[in-house]
Amino acid sequence: MATSRGRGFLDARSQLYPCVYSACMRACTCQFRLCPFWPKPSLRNRSVHPIQSVLNPGKQGRAVDVGMRQAAVLTISDRGSRGEREDKSGSVVREILREAGFSIVHSEILPDDRSLIEEELLRLADESCLDLVVTTGGTGLSPEDVTPDATLAVIHRQVPGMAEAMRSVSLAKTAHAMLSRAVAGIRGQTLIINLPGSVRGARENLEVVLPALEHALDKIQGDPSECGTDHESGKG
């Protein structure tokens, strides 16, 4: 059973298993018994992710991309969540991501409520195992702006350069760009990126990180390709 999930397994004889062991340490949904990620109790609760282990050199295959990457867009807005404001920035973000080749599998308007935002981020990263979650709104200095705080609470690792780059490019256009507290970070195999709530700010900021997104997601999900090539000065 093929899935729209963006990763599969290519074995040593180039046999593609277009399923995927769920990125979140759950069982494969393909039911194809040759698939090395086919569910078995021994795989559950493992501390080493099966995909990671097969990525090691000398093993019998490697993970590959199949299909499109999956993204969710969360609009964070008290007014939007009450239906008092059209979700223009969410629409713009979805449009840009679709053009960039993402499948938008979830879209939602949440109020400026830190617990709700955290819960939703956790669900999208840990259960839905999405590649990318983009939020728009709630990144400013108002007491109700809590999106960065919710994001910081759930990510395992920050990607400070993404937030710096977004602010730096916007700053050339408006001094208010320095007031964005937007955060970018990684939870498991999911990249979470905060964008400002204004249409222009969301578009401008997303376009700044877009050129690095594919490489970022490849790396987050364990792409074992050589990183010492000299075209990647951002790579460690």
Q: Which of 68, 105, 153, 199 touches its own copies (CB under 8 A)?
A: 199
Do residues 20 and 65 touch, judged by C-beta distance below 8 A? no
Q: In the range 4-43, which residues lie near its own copies by CB under 8 A?
A: none
Alpha helices in 100-198 (DSSP H): 114-122, 147-154, 160-171
Stretch that binds its own copies, among 21-29, 99-107, 124-132, 204-212 (CB under 8 A): 204-212
Tell me the C-alpha distance between 75 and 205, whole Å. Answer: 15
Stretch that binds its own copies, among 13-21, 24-32, 93-101, 209-217 (CB under 8 A): 209-217
Do residues 50 and 27 touch, judged by C-beta distance below 8 A? no
Query: 225, exposed or middle or buried, with CB in 10 Å at 0-12, 13-18, 19+?
Result: exposed
- Residue 30 or 203: the one with the smaller Cβ distance to its own copies is 203
Alpha helices in 129-192 (DSSP H): 147-154, 160-171
Q: Which of 163, 192, 193, 206 touches its own copies (CB under 8 A)?
A: 163
Q: Which of 14, 33, 99, 236 touches its own copies (CB under 8 A)?
A: 236
Q: Which of 137, 192, 193, 206 touches its own copies (CB under 8 A)?
A: 137
Q: In the range 167-196, which residues lie near its own copies by CB under 8 A?
A: 167-168, 170-171, 173-182, 186, 194, 196
